[in-house]
Amino acid sequence: MKSKMWDEEKIQSFQTVLLDWYYQNKRNLPWRADTNPYKVWISEIMLQQTRVDTVIDYYYRFMEEFPTIKDLAKADEEKLLKVWQGLGYYSRARNLRVAARQIQEKFNGEFPDTVENIRSLKGIGPYTAGAIASISFGLPEPAIDGNVMRVISRLFGIEEDISKASTYKIFDQILRKIISRENPGDMNQALMEVGATVSTPSAKKCPEWLQPFCYACAHNAHDKFPVKTKKAKPKDVYYLAGVIENKEHEHLLIQRPENGLLARMWHYPLEEVSSEKYKELKQFWYKEDTNQITLDLVAEDMAPEIFSEWPVVWQKRHLGEVTHVFSHLKWHILIFYGRARSDFFPENSQWIEESSFSSVVFPKVQQKIIQQFHKTHKVGQDL
């Protein structure tokens, strides 16, 4: 740490200036309407890995469907995931329900008011616990997220890599010394707000009111902080997707396994292939001739070698591709359309009309496939 820890006078000055700025400039966000711990909890979980403007509508819908901890504890998983659909990281929603049941069973339905008990809830880590404890219960607990790390690293010139777990202790020690004992929740939110709106990743310097406290501004080194090792590039994975329709115009959907990525969610059949096979099919199975689109020109021996054991006749072209990035994986998906020659029922599957898709929980990647299918597919004659 380049800068020395501030004395009490400087800490008091910083608290005053920061909170004054916050009260005048804070965004009007729905979860800031009150300090109800349930509402704070839901908003903080939603805001993980997700933009504020995206979360707002989801927050309103979630609160309409599950206005209390008891309602969330009793929630049907399909309904819960449907409300969450599009936010991604679906384990967050499942953990919310588990934690709500913990609150019902262990804390008589009342949200716990100590850091230790808050941390005992499923899916709640140090940041979320600090946010709830400070905002809802007035406890001087730091809430350290990426925005706060960026602000504090610039204020104090912290050169340690924020991607390392050991560095967290440095931020925790600093924040415990400078946090307001009278308004800890407001101060945590103020620091988050500064990181989100003022001391952004691309900011070259702080506004004038913050400059007297900022090491990075004093040394013209704003872009040097925070120090962070670049994430490893997500691994590329290649899939072929089969949009398969039967004579009743129902689509075949497959449910994901009980555990793992996109657990228990529904999507079109996927088959993993090598990058070489993917690129070969992408290049040679694309036809500009619109006559190739209609089903009178399909043939089984022209199938793109996917789901070969199924009685499906494939269209003689692919329908384009979509990509989707997870935290550690990048899916590349080439889409094909086919018609079932007879009924068949793969394991963990169902046939469903498009008009009923709204009742099924789809991950974002499945929604992308559906959009691409509608964009490029033309229905030919029935088989």
Q: Give catalytic residue positions.
A: 44
250-255 and 266-267 beta bridge pairing: antiparallel
The DSSP output letter for 355 is G
- Specify which residues 250 forms β-bridges with: 353
Judge whether 126 and 133 are in contact, CB under 8 Å: no
Q: What is the DSSP string of 133-180?
A: HHHHH--------HHHHHHHHHHHT--S-TTSGGGHHHHHHHHHHHS-
Angle formed by the axes of helices 126-137 and 37-47, to 10°? 150
| CB burial of residue 376 (10 Å; 0-12, 13-18, 19+) | middle
Residue 60 to residues 26, 50, 355: CA-CA distances in angstroms? 20, 15, 25
Query: CA 314 to CA 135: how far, in whole Å?
Result: 57
Judge whether 344 and 208 are in contact, CB under 8 Å: no
270-273 and 266-267 beta bridge pairing: unpaired
